[in-house]
A = this chain, B = another copy of it.
Amino acid sequence: MKRIAIDMDEVIADALSECLQRYNAEFNRGLTKQDLIGKNIADLAPAEHRPRLRSYFDDEQFFRDLPVMEGSQEVIEDLMARYDVFIASAAMEVPCSFGPKFEWLRRHFPFLPPDNIVFCGDKSIVAADFLIDDSVYQLERFRGEGILFSTPRNVYETKYRRVDNWPEVRELFLAGAGVSAPGRRR
């Protein structure tokens, strides 16, 4: 069975919406995802706001109630019938997120065994055939085939096969011969 590793933030967990909401509320701004095409929030924030922006991730509460990306639960459950599915999050950047991320996964993806969860830093350590991730930094390190999950920041990236949403992940991995090495039960 081929193995698919799947990132968390911006792929199954909508951390960007939470970040925008906190930033807009704190600084009385009205930034939207549209404003972030090709950019990070920090690119649109005055220098004096940036320490506060960074501090949002030091609050473990940030990770507790993130919205689930639409369609991710149904598609992942269906993928598990044909692929070995792991969730791989670069949680080492934010040690306070370990517990909340684990609980979030147990709550929203109860069908995924805890043994199939990985908290790492550099995703070159992930042994899988595919990695679905919004981070070009991580896809460059990964040793299998990288699939770029669209997020406003990465829209100009052209190096990787791209999926815009979970129906497109379903189409790529479950509808036919979309992937270069289609998963088949051995």
Contact = CB atoms under 8 A, between A and B. Distances in A.
Interface string A85-121: 0101001110110110011000000000111111111
Given A98-B98, A118-B120, A125-B126, 9 more contacts: A5-B125, A92-B117, A93-B114, A95-B114, A113-B121, A115-B122, A117-B120, A120-B120, A127-B127
A121 B93 CA distance: 19
Given A98-B98, A98-B99, A119 B121 contact: no
A121 to B, nearest CB: 3
A121 B117 contact: yes
Which 6 pairs, one residue from A and one from B, show the smallest C-beta to C-beta distance? A115-B121, A98-B98, A127-B127, A119-B119, A115-B122, A92-B114
A2 interface: no
Given A115-B121, A116-B122, A121-B114, A99 B95 contact: yes
Interface of A: 5, 86, 88, 91-93, 95-96, 98-99, 102-103, 113-122, 124-128, 143
Contacts of A124: 127
Contact of A125 (B96, B103, B128): B128
A118 B127 contact: no
A91 B92 CA distance: 13
